[in-house]
Amino acid sequence: DVKVTQSSRYLVKRTGEKVFLECVQDMDHENMFWYRQDPGLGLRLIYFSYDVKMKEKGDIPEGYSVSREKKERFSLILESASTNQTSMYLCASGSLALSGANVLTFGAGSRLTVL
């Protein structure tokens, strides 16, 4: 089974702290994504990466950055956390090469609370 593992299920941080959310996949997928999920807003794309060291902004990149130094790992960074970044963060990976469509496999999610 494809596995996408997010390092933390629940985090509580203080305003202004630097936050790292880690995501690792084990199926050699070239594409990785970070989404933010909020009630009534669905999933919104923050950043994605289609190759090592490559990154593209999604719909809501402000206040976030990402890092992809290895193919299997994609990190989301909040340089200075704010209360409006309290949310559920979902990591996903996918491969166009395997199926012709970017079928995504999701991690379990990281629920971040910023106080």
Q: Cβ 86 to another protein, closest distance in Å?
A: 17
Q: Is 102 helix (H, G, I), strand (E, B) or coil?
A: coil
Among 23, 29, 36, 48, contact with another protein (rule: CB under 8 A): 48
Q: Are 33 and 93 spatial neighbours (Cβ–Cβ below 8 Å)?
A: yes
Q: Are 85 and 114 spatial neighbours (Cβ–Cβ below 8 Å)?
A: yes
Q: Are 43 and 34 spatial neighbours (Cβ–Cβ below 8 Å)?
A: no
Q: Which amino acid is at 99?
A: S
> Residue 92: in which H helix or E strand, if any?
strand 87-94
Distance, CA of 7 to CA of 35 (rounded, Å): 15
Q: Smaller CB distance to another protein: residue 36 or 81?
A: 36
User: For the window 73-102, what string marks contact with another protein as x by the rule CB under 8 A?
Assistant: -----------------x-x---x---xxx
Q: Cβ 44 to another protein, closest distance in Å?
A: 8
Q: Which range of residues in 13-21, 39-47, 60-68, 71-79 is near another protein by CB under 8 A?
A: 39-47
Footprint on this chain of another protein (rule: CB under 8 A): 31, 33, 35, 40-43, 45, 48, 50, 56, 58, 90, 92, 96, 100-109
